[in-house]
């Protein structure tokens, strides 16, 4: 081999070395860029809006079950109502927040609930959606999964009502989520259900008022779960930078391990009432100082019960409240958005003035458990007597999802 051949071969080998080194550098740089891009992607909570209009509460009841199905899939549900055309209807379901048309693109999925009016949606829902011209022009809802549920006085025309509702959603380019056959197993041969392949419906004004059959509850939850799965799957395809700032952010707080709290077994009702009632996103609970089936430190505070015993009874009552709340939320206190209001009622003699000091035992405990979601509005008052001679009763309101 002459000198020229040796130089040529060395040059070729060096060229190969630099080529492969360049490929490795490019691959490393691309991997680093992709990793940086992934790190910069916003870590968002998937959120579904349940947008309703309701006249007698049937649609509200369905919305609650749709929300339960959404949350079963670990997706956040927000229930809101459309503004009413008739001013007197604005007083209906005041605890449910009113939506604005501009906030709709801020959600990852929307469930629309309306009364059936002559085979169509209600006038209030129609008027609200008619304000979405700009959203339609911008195609801000294109690809957003949507589903429909309705309530009618007779049940007639329920399928045509949902199909007519779809016309608006299809014009917006939304992805329609149907129930299809998912409700067949839930409904079976059980009587009184509003199953359709397009979405759940129910008979409005049914007696007892606004109740749903067991089958309708199952189907509504399945429909909510189907929407949640679609919303979670498609949310990564949407430009999150355009998300509406009007979508309320959940409070920042610690993760609550309910099983580690040592809560008592939730007391059961002893009359014709419920331990907890949910209306919209609010849960209402009343409890007294029961412990192991007996009243803890019964009697009049300052007479039969010392101040320290009263505080102990108050904390026990608050533990009972949270035990009932946990039961209502399937054991998951992380679904509590905030403690809205606590009202302490104390069995006290005339002239007693330490209500606030005793009530602090309840306030401190709920903040300890719920963290940033614990601070609340508060009221205290004295009473001449309380049920079972309890020293304390607490009325509580929580906002949940």
DSSP-assigned states of every residue in 318-337: HHHHHHHHHHHTTT-GGGEE
Share of the chain above pLDDT 70, in %: 78
Residue 11 has pLDDT above 60, yes or no: no
Nearby residues of 278 by Cβ (< 8 Å), 6 or more positions away: 64, 284, 328, 400
Q: How many CA atoms lie within 13 A of 81 on its CB side?
A: 26
Residue 375 has pLDDT above 50, yes or no: yes
Burial class (CB in 10 A: 0-12, 13-18, 19+), 152: buried
Angle at which helices 355-370 and 307-328 cross, to 10°: 40
Q: Mean pLDDT in the chain? A: 82
Residue 208: per-residue pLDDT? 58
Residue 300 gets the label, from left (phi > 0), alpha (psi -120 to 50) or beta, of beta
| Structure tokens, 320 | 């009972």
Q: What angle do CA 26, 32, 35 make, to 5 degrees?
A: 140
Q: What value does the mean pLDDT take over residues 315-329?
A: 95
Q: Are 324 and 266 in contact (CB under 8 A)?
A: yes
Between residues 255 and 346, which one has the greater pLDDT? 346
For residue 93, the tally of other CB atoms under 10 A from its CB is: 19
What 3-state DSSP class applies to 338?
strand
| Structure tokens, 280 | 């919209």
- Is cis: bond before 208, omega within 30 of 0? yes
Q: Are 78 and 401 in contact (CB under 8 A)?
A: yes
Residue 20 has pLDDT above 60, yes or no: no
Grade residue 320 by pLDDT with cuts at 50, 70 and 90: very high
Residue 164: per-residue pLDDT? 86
Q: What value does the mean pLDDT take over residues 312-337?
A: 94
Residue 262 has pLDDT above 70, yes or no: yes
- Going by the DSSP 8-state scheme, the letter that residue 257 receives in this structure is -
Give the Cα separation of 144 and 42 in Å (integer). 18
**In Å, how far are 5, 15, 19 from 9, measured between CA atoms?**
6, 10, 15
Q: What angle do CA 132, 115, 135 make, to 5 degrees?
A: 10
Residue 327 has pLDDT above 90, yes or no: yes
Write out 262-277 in H/E/C secondary structure: CCCCCCCCCCCCCCEE
| Structure tokens, 61 | 């009841």
Between residues 30 and 173, which one has the greater pLDDT? 173
Grade residue 24 by pLDDT with cuts at 50, 70 and 90: very low
Q: What value does the mean pLDDT take over residues 288-307?
A: 95
Q: What value does the mean pLDDT take over residues 157-183?
A: 83
| Number of residues that make up the chain | 401
Residue 370 has pLDDT above 60, yes or no: yes
Q: How many CA atoms lie within 13 A of 211 on its CB side?
A: 7
- The highest-confidence range among 21-30, 111-120, 212-221, by mean pLDDT, is 111-120
Q: Would you say the pTM of this structure is higher than 0.85? A: no
Residue 272: per-residue pLDDT? 92
- For β-strands 290-291 and 336-347, DSSP reports them as unpaired
Give the Cα separation of 370 and 44 in Å (integer). 22
Between residues 179 and 252, which one has the greater pLDDT? 179
Instruction: Supply φ then ψ for residue 311, to 5 degrees.
Output: -65, -40
| Structure tokens, 264 | 């008592």
Residue 41: per-residue pLDDT? 38
């Amino acid at each position: 081999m002459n000198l020229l051949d040796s130089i040529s071969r060395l040059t070729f080998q060096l060229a190969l070395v630099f080529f492969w080194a360049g490929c490795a550098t490019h691959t490393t740089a691309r991997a680093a860029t992709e990793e940086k891009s992934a790190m910069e992607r916003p870590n968002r909570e998937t959120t579904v809006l349940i947008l309703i209009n309701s006249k007698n509460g049937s649609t509200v009841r369905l919305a609650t079950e749709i929300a339960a199905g959404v949350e079963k899939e670990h997706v956040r549900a927000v229930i809101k109502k459309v503004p009413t055309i008739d001013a007197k209807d604005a007083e209906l379901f005041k605890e449910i927040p009113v939506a604005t048309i501009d906030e709709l693109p801020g959600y990852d999925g929307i469930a629309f609930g309306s009364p059936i009016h002559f085979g169509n949606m209600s006038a209030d829902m129609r008027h609200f959606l008619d304000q979405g011209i700009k959203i339609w022009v911008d195609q801000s809802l294109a690809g957003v999964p949507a589903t429909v549920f309705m309530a009618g006085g007779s049940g007639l025309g329920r399928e045509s009502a949902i199909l007519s509702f779809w016309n608006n959603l299809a014009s917006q380019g939304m992805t329609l989520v149907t129930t299809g056959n998912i409700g067949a197993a839930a409904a079976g041969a059980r009587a009184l259900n509003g199953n359709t392949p397009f979405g759940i419906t129910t008979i409005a004004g049914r007696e007892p008022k606004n109740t749903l059959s067991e089958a309708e509850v199952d189907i509504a939850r399945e429909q909510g779960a189907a929407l949640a799965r679609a919303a979670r799957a498609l949310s990564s395809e949407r430009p999150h930078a355009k998300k509406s700032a009007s979508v309320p952010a959940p409070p920042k707080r610690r993760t609550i391990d309910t099983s580690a709290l040592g809560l008592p077994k939730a007391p059961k009702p002893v009359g014709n009432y419920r331990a907890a009632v949910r209306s919209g996103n609010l849960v209402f609970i009343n409890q007294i100082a029961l412990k192991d089936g007996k009243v803890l430190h019964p009697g009049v505070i300052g007479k039969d019960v010392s101040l320290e015993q009263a505080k102990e009874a108050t904390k026990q009552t608050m533990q009972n409240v949270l035990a009932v709340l946990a039961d209502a939320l399937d054991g998951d206190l992380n679904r509590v958005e905030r403690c809205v209001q606590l009202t302490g009622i104390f069995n006290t003699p005339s002239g007693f003035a330490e209500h606030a000091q005793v009530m602090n035992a309840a306030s401190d405990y709920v903040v300890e458990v719920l963290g940033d979601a614990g601070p609340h509005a508060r009221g205290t008052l004295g009473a001449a007597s309380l049920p079972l001679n309890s020293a304390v009763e607490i009325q509580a309101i929580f906002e949940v999802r």
